[in-house]
Amino acid sequence: MTDYYEILGVPRDASAEQIKKAYRKLARELHPDVAGESAADRFKDVSRAYEVLGNAEKRQQYDMGSDPSAMGGGGGGAGFGFQDIFETFFGGGAAPRGPVPRSRRGQDALVRLDLDLAEAAFGARREIQVETAVACGTCGGSCCRPGTSVRPCEVCGGRGMVQRVARSFLGQVMTTQPCSACQGFGTTIPEPCPDCSGEGRVRSRRTLTVDVPAGVDTGTRIKMTAQGEVGPAGGPAGDIYVEIRERKHDVFVRRGDDLHCNLEIPMTAAALGTTIDLDTLDGDQEVTFEPGTQPGDVVTLKGLGIGHLHVGGRGDLLVHVDVRVPTGLDDTQAELLRQLAAARGEERPEAKVSSTHGGVFSRLREKITGR
């Protein structure tokens, strides 16, 4: 079976637009009026390939192993006809009427901003340096040397379009194309501005202030409207998007708007209960551990996490407990522990077997994901 994808020079997963574009390019190159009669057979092959691949239903049949064009499906099928031929040679649809505006909107820009955890939690005001296009101060965006102005194009008379007679297999056809003298603008710049070379804008480094709301996270984008590049000829400015990257903290791990940390306490403190000062994002906070606190227990400090983005309030700080077992006991300490074990009947305790875990945050992940 003929490989129509190979004939058009496109991959098998090509989009409909890619297939159409490839067909138009080959049809212009291979049409007998352009390449001569020697290319007639190749032109027919290209047309037949597009007849099949340019039609969604026929393409599906072809991909399943059958060739619709070999089963009487030729000629002017739904994917190929006079309109495709006309668009191939005469510009693709109705030509634009009138000149193209010289002024256009500027491009958007993306800037990355690194933040500490506290800045993400509470919000911050930061300054960033950006290099973008700004309106030319000499010509004010007019593109012309001061004291001069644009002139109507002498070739197209200010219309931005010119008409030409094209010879094709359909005969002589009148086509409309953008004027090459003025690039379709309808005007020319006889004396371009010396500072911007007739562009109406120049490059400049600026300092902008970014108000970062509380609760941002890595990947959050803050839109700064109309702070991007000024468009050509004084066109409106695009936007700047500030993308946040949050630095890792030495102590706290962020999960959504909650913070987690691991706190190690002595075995005696876990058994008897205690209160410990913890340095948080809000300063020192007392953390109370009840008597009998076990390894892996979690103490929650409400409202000491990350601010909820746009909705107010804050997440929590979750303190995960690790119990430190004493080592290097002297004789007195060892004897006290033996007395405690005897009092609790634990000289020869029965071992309790349980599944192993990879640590506090592995256990946390298991609770969240269920795995």
Q: pLDDT class for 82, splitting at 50, 70, 90?
A: very low
**What is the mean pLDDT of the segment spanning 43-58?**
87
pTM for this predicted structure: 0.63
Strand partners of residue 322:
264
Q: Does 261 belong to an annotated binding site?
A: no
Q: Distance between CA 367 and CA 371 in Å, rounded?
A: 7
- Residue 322: Cβ within 10 Å count: 14
User: Which of 124, 118, 108, 309 is CA-nearest to residue 219?
Assistant: 309
- For the chain, the average pLDDT equals 85
Of the ranges 43-47, 127-131, 203-207, 256-260, which one carries the lowest mean pLDDT score? 43-47
CB 56 within 8 A of CB 16: yes
176-184: long-range pairs with CB below 8 Å, 24+: 176/91, 176/95, 177/91, 177/95, 178/100, 179/153, 179/155, 180/155, 181/153, 181/154, 181/155, 181/156, 182/99, 182/153, 182/155, 182/156, 183/100, 184/96, 184/99, 184/100, 184/160
Number of Cβ atoms within 10 Å of the Cβ of 106 = 22
Contact 175, 92 (CB under 8 A): no
CA-wise closest residue to 89 among 15, 155, 168: 168
Tell me whether residue 144 is annotated as binding: no
The answer to whether 136 is annotated as binding is: yes
Nearest residue to 291 via CA among 310, 275, 308, 313: 275
Is 143 assigned a ligand-binding role in the annotation?
no
**pLDDT tens digits for 305-315?**
999 998 889 99
Quickly count: other Cβ atoms within 10 Å of residue 37's Cβ: 9
User: Are the CB atoms for 322 and 263 separated by under 8 Å?
Assistant: yes
Report yes or no: 263 and 324 within 8 Å, Cβ to Cβ.
Answer: no
Predicted local distance difference test score (pLDDT) of residue 356: 52
Q: What is the mean pLDDT of residues 287-302?
A: 95
pLDDT at residue 33 in the model:
63
Please give the helix or strand (H or E) that residue 342 lies within, else none: helix 331-343
For 60-64, 235-239, 275-279, 292-296, which range has the lowest pLDDT when averaged over its residues?
Answer: 60-64
Hey, what amino acid is at 273? G
Q: For the range 31-35, what are the long-range contacts, defined as Cβ-Cβ under 8 Å and sequence gap of 24 or more?
A: 31/89, 31/168, 31/169, 32/169, 33/167, 33/168, 33/169
pLDDT, tens digit, for every residue of 308-339?
998 889 999 999 999 999 989 999 999 998 89
Domains, in order of start, for the chain: 4-90 (1.10.287.110), 109-144+193-246 (2.60.260.20), 151-188 (no CATH), 253-369 (2.60.260.20)
Structure tokens at 359: 């640590």
* Lowest-pLDDT choice from 64-68, 88-92, 215-219: 88-92
